[in-house]
Structure 1
Amino acid sequence: MSSFFKFKFNNFLDIAKSPEVFDWMISIRRKIHENPELGYQEFETSELIRSELDKMDIRYKHPVAITGVIGFIGTGLPPFVALRADMDALPIQEMVEWEHKSKVAGKMHACGHDAHVTMLLAAAKILKKHEKDIQGTVVLVFQPAEEGSGGAKKIVESGVLQNVIAIFGLHVAPELPVGEVASNSGPILAGSGRFEAKISGKGGHAASPHKAIDPILTASNVIISLQYLVSREADPLDSQVVTVAKFQGGSAFNVIPDYVTIGGTYRAFSKQSFNHLRQRIEQIIVGQAAVHRCNATIDFLEEEEPSYPPTVNDSNLHEHFVNVAVNMLGINQVNSVMKPAMAAEDFSFYQEVMPGYFFMLGVQSASHKPSESSLHSPFLKINEDGFPYGAALHASLASSYLLKHQQNMHHAADSKYLDEI
């Protein structure tokens, strides 16, 4: 990146920190925070986004995937680079007492998606002011239903991103100090799936177990057998998880029930390992049930909520991210070897069809309390001072990538011409 453009893109942070933009961001975020909406119900959030894009004279497509909004800044022509923010809240009662606490009982932005939307809108504001310098088109992806319902999958299936050459996304990290970012090349978040199994036996009186076929004992053996998938079948260097977190059966102390229901999650960092776990989970449940004279049916619940693939960062985009982030924040503020986590993200659906990059942004609260630093916690606090960094990084990552892509295309064309001579 030339020194001129280093200066220009780093200037994005100064713009994002200006009172005009920063105060506007705080206002937007608090409006969204007070009115949280669950997946595919983000109608007011979508309306707010469209209203702000209208004020900025940014064109967009709506609806996409029910409530989604896809904006466009730049020439309207290729190349296309996308920036993504998710919009949905969680069914959690907020326990933080502050002026802008959720006004909707039982719903809260406990995963920071209100901040994600805000920072992408701010990036749009910055990019619109520099639209004449954009060497292509930045696509703004305001996506519904990340929390389990796979809104990204619906966005991909809509076809609106079919010509996009790269996509960037961020997630607030309340455990990281403001001004710091973290990510890595390759797998950073796991693929995640769910399963539920019904194990049917024959009910009877607990005093005469020989006259019954006990599904509780069978399910217990199934759960023990599932633990061997990780301890004895998985490569110790290939992290995987199988957890049974649901066990329901029986309602009396002296009656063996007819059936038991168990359910849980399985996770892995590679698609191959993920698919292997799914296959073996079904084999073990059905096989162990048969050994104990029971029948078993298993449902991977894909119709309700799709399983999420692993989130795998493109190596070339990692190099680009580190270059941009170090230039903007300083080398000590960029952790480029972040340890992967077993959490899942539907950003992975984008990465299955195009190069994608996902990173963490520090928004640690001033008090640093552990209860305030956990996503999906009713006590989550987000430090709004982190917002300018996310907005500026969004804007710089997209605009500088388009510039670099165009320069590479010119170099390739020049090389081809010389080769032909």
Structure 2
Amino acid sequence: MDPFEILFSLIICLLLSSVKSTSSDSPFLTKERLAEIPMKFLNMAQRPEVFDWMVNIRRTLHEIPELGFEEFETSKLVRTELDKMGIPYKHPVAITGVVGYIGTGKPPFVAIRADMDALAMQENVEWEHKSKIPGKMHACGHDAHVAMLLGAARMLQEYRNDLQGTVILVFQPAEEGGGGARKMLDTGILENVDAIFGLHVSSKYPIGTVAARPGPILAANGFFDAVIKGKGGHAALPQTSIDPILAASNIIISLQHLISREADPLDSQVVTVGKFQGGAAFNVIPDSVAIGGTFRAFSKDSFRQLKQRIEEVIIRQAAVHRCNATVDFEADYRPFYPVTVNSNRLHDHFQTVAENMLGSKSIIELQPMMGAEDFAFFAEAIPGYFYFVGMHNDSKGQSVPGHSPYFKVNENVLQYGAALHAALAVTHLLGGPATLSVQKESLHDEL
């Protein structure tokens, strides 16, 4: 063979080898390629075999909504999909919960979480996959959350041999008032876990954006029930009765004074009475009335003080009207939720991952809200980070917020949630925000 032909052949072989080593099939879960990981996962989540599969899961779950600690069919679907992917898991955890494991099975550990429960609400949206269970509806997007976490699991499992640690998949029951996170935490599922990430879809923010911030983002939330007892009688003879309805009405007004006249205007607090039950006839003063509601605050001290004053106001105002009152707060099935606080360290990590995936203009600074989220139990035990994934689309008309019978999910959001779950977990295992910052700086220098 001519020497030039030999040299030409060698050059071709080297070029082919170079192309092969940098192909899309080569491992990308490395520190050297860290900044590429978020976009790589988004591209994977957009593939029809992944995206369409997530859509199908979400629609299947939407048809079979289940309330807190009753997510048996939902849990069964999750376990079926994990089995198909060859992902080991624990079940049951906190009655219906499922915890999956991808990677080495050894430290470091990072967790990503989805809630599974629906709401006691009749769906008023007419579409092919409307709820088949009367009086129950996925009106807060938890069906989408489960689909996203399964989507992340599918992508992570594809690269399980490249993971430098273990990703824990937390499929949690009973977020809507049942405190499922606390029950899962009590089982020890997060022992030795370095961080946990959670998300929520939001119709407030545009599709393709995320909203987050460090520190307190959602309020502590508690519940109260009270029974005000008087003396029943005829409406025409109020002097012979002790009217619990009048007493309860004054109690409700006085409870609002706790916010307007006792709370610091710069310290956000809310008291809402959402239940008032008593009486069965127009002309009868009942023996008793039941009221109930929630109270919220952004600090433990404010929350504790508000709880104390609610009890004092109810009992003493009842006494002013010659009634007796009892007040019940926390129950095992309805625990207090602490303030949801995002780790400052994980915020830096989230910002870098989200920017690499979506661009800096797609990251919105979240304003603290008085809503509550039981992810707070996780974030109270270990460093946690909770964020919102936008799904509003102007071309599809006005979006309806969660907890509405007209709530709808823009299914395009599934790709973003799944990709963020996977990217946040993997990059955290590879070194977290410090490594990401170094990688980002080095890439900037190269440009």
Shift of 1:367: 4.5
1:359 and 2:391 are equivalent in the alignment: no
Are 2:191 and 1:162 equivalent residues in the alignment?
yes
Question: Pairwise CA RMSD of aligned residues?
Answer: 2.0
- Could you tell me how far 1:274 is from its partner in structure 2? 1.4
The SS at the match of 1:297 is strand
Question: 1:394 is matched with which residue: 421, 425, 431?
Answer: 421
- Report what 2:430 is aligned to: 403
SS in 2 for 1:303: coil
Deviates more, 1:321-330 or 1:285-294: 285-294
Partner of 1:185: 214
Q: Map of 1:288-299 to 2, 5 A cutoff?
A: 288-299=317-328
1:349 equivalent to 2:377? Answer: yes
Whole-angstrom CA distance in 2 between matches of 1:79 and 1:2: 15
SS in 2 for 1:176: strand
For 1:10-409, what aligned pairs fall within 5 Å after superposition? 10-335=39-364, 337-365=365-393, 367-370=395-398, 372-404=399-431
State the secondary structure of the residue aligned to 2:117: coil
Letter in 1 for 2:64: N
Q: Mark the structure with the bigger radius of gyration.
A: 2
User: Counterpart of 1:399 in structure 2: which amino acid?
Assistant: V
Equivalent position amino acid for 2:427 in 1 = S
Q: Deviations over 1:351-393 (max 9, x none)?
A: 12111111000122565444x4211122122111111111111
Q: Give 3-state SS (helix, strand or coil) of 1:85's partner.
A: strand
Q: Is the 8 A contact 1:365 1:381 kept in 2?
A: no
CA contact (8 A) 2:38 2:356 kept: no
The Cα of 1:271 is off from its aligned counterpart by 2.1
More displaced stretch, 46-55 vs 253-262 = 253-262
The code of the aligned residue for 1:107 comes to: K
Q: 1:104: how far off?
A: 2.0
How far, CA to CA, are the matches of 1:188 and 1:255 in structure 2? 47
Give the whole-Å Cα distance in 1 for the aligned partners of 2:233 and 2:247: 15
Would the aligned equivalents of 2:61 and 2:74 in 1 still touch at CA under 8 Å?
Answer: yes
Structure 1 residue runs of 5 or longer lacking an equivalent are 409-421
CA distance in structure 2 between the partners assigned to 1:254 and 1:57 by the alignment? 66
In structure 1, what residue type is equivalent to 2:335? P
Q: SS where residue 309 of structure 1 aligns? A: coil
Q: What CA distance in whole angstroms lies between the structure 1 residues aligned with 2:374 and 2:277?
A: 29
Aligned-pair CA distance for 1:5: 1.0
User: Using a 3 Å threshold, how does the CA distance of structure 1 residues 221 and 105 change in structure 2: closer, same or farther?
Assistant: closer
SS of 2:204's equivalent in the other structure is coil
Q: Is the 8 A contact 1:135 1:406 kept in 2?
A: no
- Structure-1 separation of matches of 2:88 and 2:273: 47
Q: Deviations over 1:82-122 (max 9, x none)?
A: 00001111122222222222222222211111110111011
Find the residue that maps to 1:174 and give its secondary structure: strand
Structure 1 window deviating more from structure 2 (246-255 vs 292-301): it is: 246-255
What is the CA-CA distance between 1:333 and the residue it aligns to?
Answer: 0.4
Tell me by how many angstroms 1:3 deviates.
6.0
- The Cα of 1:254 is off from its aligned counterpart by 4.0
TM-score (norm 1): 0.92
CA contact (8 A) 2:337 2:372 kept: yes
Taking the aligned partners of 1:107 and 1:145, their CA distance within structure 2 comes to 14
Q: 1:302 to 1:357 in 2, by over 3 A?
A: same
- Work out the CA distance in 1 between the residues paired with 2:405 and 2:250: 36
8 Å CA contact retained: 2:208, 2:362:
yes
SS of residue in 1 equivalent to 2:431? helix
Residue type of the alignment partner of 2:419: A
Query: Is residue 364–residue 382 contact of structure 1 (8 Å, CA) maintained in 2?
Result: no
Structure 2 counterpart of 1:108, one-letter code: M
Local SS of the residue matching 1:45: helix
Q: Secondary structure at the match of 1:175?
A: strand
Structure 2: stretches of 5+ with no match in the other structure: 1-29, 436-447
TM-score between both structures, scaled by the size of structure 2: 0.86
